[in-house]
Amino acid sequence: MSLFKARDWWSTVLGEKEEFDQGCLCLADVDNTGNGQDKIIVGSFMGYLRIFNPHPVKTGDGAQAEDMLLEVHLRDPILQVEVGKFVSGTEMLHLAVLHSRKLCVYSVSGTLGNVEHGNQYQIKLMYEHNLQRTACNMTYGSFGGVKGRDLICIQSMDGMLMVFEQESYAFGRFLPGSLLPGPLAYSSRTDSFITVSSCRQVESYKYQVLAFATDADKRQETEQQKLGSGKRLVVDWTLNIGEQALDICIVSFNQSASSVFVLGERNFFCLKDNGQIRFMKKLDCSPSCFLPYCSVSEGTINTLIGNHNHMLHIYQDVTLKWATQLPHIPVAVRVGCLHDLKGVIVTLSDDGHLQCSYLGTDPSLFQAPKVESRELHYDELDRELKELQKIIKDVNKSQGIWPMTEREDDLKVSAMVSPNVDSVSQAADVDMGTDLVPSVTVKVTLQNRLALRKAKLSVYVQPPLVLTCDQFTFEFMGIPRVIQCKFRLPLKLICLPGQPSKTASHKLTIDTNKSPVSLLSLFPGFASQSDDDQVNVMGFRFFGGSRVTLLASKTSQRYRIQSEQFEDLWLVTNELIIRLQEYFEKQGIKDFACSFSGCMPLQEYFELIDHHFELRINGEKLEELLSERAVQFRAIQRRLLTRFKDKTPAPLQHLDTLLDGTYKQVIALADAVEENQDSLFQSFTKLKSATHLVILLIGLWQKLSTDQIAILEAAFLPVQQDTQELGWEETVDAAISHLLKTCLSKSSKEQALNLSSQLNLPKDTSRLKKHITLLCDRLAKGGRLCLSTDAAAPQTMVMPGGCTTIPESDLEERSIEQDSTELFTSHKHLIVETPMPEVSPLQGVSE
């Protein structure tokens, strides 16, 4: 928060859900009172024209009813409002209102009211021009050096300048090479129009050149041009600024010189009359509007610049003199004299916050009290520290791993998933071959106990699932807290019933302590046959094309899941365990348990890790090559530009050929980077599925509690996204190393090891794979996962002798790899240890 806030003198909010832009604000003595007091004229895209004359009783007052002089609905959107001498035969000020297809000029007048009713104001239409082309913006001035009146120039959306001499249309000219319209301003000293084209260069056109050029009824050359009777429109001068412009302002404080100010996306420029740069300033924040005005110092100019950080900066040339904070993001800023107060800053936001403020600060009356020096008693401090540590230790023991939540929260979130997929799928734009991708509707309910102001609801699903909308904002609610709600989606959203497969490359066997359950009872919507003999075999076909087969033994209390892809096993395995638990809970059986007694499939898991890491390395190499080719491309461009600017150009020496070849390489490398990113995303999705499967099997293998499984998920499935700068491998390696150093450590020597404070892309995955193997080894030998403070004490570890320590060198890591080879073999040998007969998809399982 800034110390220097804009002092609120008067403010109001215009309308409801109206929109405004930089041309919608103007300050002038529009009713011609002659007392030097400005009025605030505001137009909106909703077509409302409002005129204010603020009279606050005290500083900071809001708008009173008498502050608004006039409010008229003009129906058409108002793009810009200006005040000038727009009516012939008089030098009185009139109001020009620009609509998208019409220009209207009004006179504003007031009538003295009787007694307490106040003055009455009204507008009268003097004349209007219907436009043949859609307008973008306008400027005005004494074009051609006329005296006592102002002419209006309107720029259309297709780059045509239309000049109006008050009540009559003068001419129209197309700007050469115009693609998109830019800001437009008129310089009275040079009698020229200045704009910024879509080529990101400032262009100046003389009014006399525009007036005598060929008429713009047609954009192509006419026969008169070919015969030489007309003049071609040429630019007076140009300056490439390398960025789009937000606004242009011409400042002239004497007749000898004027300055052209251009506000860009990252810089603002001050140019001379001939287009030479007088100075420029690089801005720290993205600007939203600006206004140059006169300075008290000779030869300098002050500039107000508003930005998207709710700040208003005041520069004297390029020196920052003042910074003040605003309550909104300004899109237009003006300075005027209101109620005998000179230099009032008037700002307008895009949602209608109009504020009149001045610069200043509030003095701070607080004085810090003097600190009395006293002697430190270290023995008492040690006793107090030990008592606090004991309290923290007791709290951690009583609360467990996760903090306890209050019984009644201010906001509760619940989700209800429809049991059936939508009759009309919302995934019509997703192409998955011949399969129609289904969709399901989730109803999220928010219940608040207190009156709240604003709330944001975010919904996240794991890839490849997608959402029709992932962000919801409720304007009437809001709390500075985060509430989470998890829900399960139906299995039919991912896969369809499929033909069971007899053979598969990857197989898992899950043991239970209860008799096998009919698969038709567990998966009622996935039965492909009606024969009662086929209740022990079921096939699933994912929308990606892969298949998973589920078999249930009739006598041995076992279930087998098999597939050609290792990562495809997780979803069906997890769904099987959840549905078995729900089935026996409904039966009133509470001692149901699942277990896994086979070998951990680390070899298949490591293959997915290596593939994901290989894609990351490949992506890094491609980005380096792309950066090199981009540097080479820019270097060739600079050389060609030097050749072309030379008055006596030298031969190109095949630089154009080299430029074309480098351009093709840049495009090819960019396509390769994009293709690699898609492959990396798919690989990471497979890796996460395999990680979920490994965590599930470890939990069944060692009978881990829910809190211990949560620790494994936090270590193996980090929350942040997988990127080149910070990827999955180094993050998981750091988390596993921390577990091995703390709760799974054997001695205090291991706890004294320091982990690296920086996470960098590793050279290979050997260290990560060895740490994962060591983690499983520690768990197999009695290790306990916990996050309490007792985990740091070696005597609390429930680990038998012979546990391997954390490797401190490559030699130790090699020994660990040899010791763990017998325990964690390839999961393809699992069939030998837990045999189940191979069956045909049309035959039952019998043992």
| 364 or 617, higher pLDDT | 617
Report whether 214 contacts 231 (CB < 8 A).
Answer: yes
Which one has a higher pLDDT value, 724 or 659? 659
CA angle 329, 333, 336 (to 5 degrees): 145
Which of the residue ranges 432-441, 528-537, 767-776 would you say has the lowest mean pLDDT? 528-537
Cβ distance 509 to 837 under 8 Å? no
pLDDT score recorded for residue 258: 86
Show the beta-strand stretches assigned E in 219-370: 237-240, 245-251, 259-264, 267-271, 277-282, 287-294, 301-307, 311-316, 319-325, 330-338, 341-349, 353-358
Question: For residue range 64-88, what is the model confidence (pLDDT) as tens digits?
Answer: 888 899 999 998 999 999 999 999 9
The pLDDT tens digits of the residues spanning 519-532 come to 888 888 887 654 45
pLDDT recorded at residue 409: 60
Whole-number Å distance between alpha carbons of 143 and 165: 9
The per-residue pLDDT for 315 is 93
Least confident window among 235-244, 363-372, 452-461: 363-372
The residue type at 71: E
| Nearest 10 degrees: Cα torsion 696, 698, 703, 706 | -50
Rounded mean pLDDT of 669-693? 93
Q: What is the mean pLDDT of the chain?
A: 82
Amino acid at position 244, single letter:
Q
Cα 530 to Cα 520, 523, 762, distances in angstroms: 10, 13, 54
The backbone torsions φ and ψ at residue 13, rounded to the nearest 5 degrees and listed phi first, read -115, 130
589-600 pLDDT tens trace? 889 999 999 899
Highest-confidence range of 148-157, 479-488, 548-557, 643-652, by mean pLDDT? 148-157
| pLDDT > 70: percent of the chain | 81
Model pLDDT for residues 749-789, shown as the tens digit of each residue: 665 555 556 788 889 999 999 999 999 999 998 888 887 54
Residue 753's pLDDT is: 58
SS (H, E, C) 788-840: CHHHHCHHHCCCCCCCCCCCCCHHHHHHHHHHCCCCCCCHHHHHHHCCCCCCC
pLDDT band (50, 70, 90) for residue 457: confident
Is 400 or 521 the better-scoring residue by pLDDT?
Answer: 521
Token pair of 337 as six digits: 């004299």
Share of the chain above pLDDT 90, in %: 47
Q: State the average pLDDT over residues 225-241.
A: 71
pLDDT exceeds cutoff 90 at 490: no
pLDDT of residue 367: 62
Task: Please check the confidence at residue 223 and state whether its pLDDT lies above 50.
Answer: no
* pLDDT band, residue 815 (cuts 50/70/90): very low
Instruction: Write down the pLDDT at residue 576.
Output: 93
Whole-number pLDDT of residue 760: 84
What tens digit of pLDDT does each residue of 247-271 get? 999 988 666 678 999 999 999 999 9
Domains of the chain listed by start with CATH number: 20-130 (no CATH), 494-596 (3.30.310), 609-781 (no CATH)
Residue 767, number of CB atoms within 10 A of its CB:
18
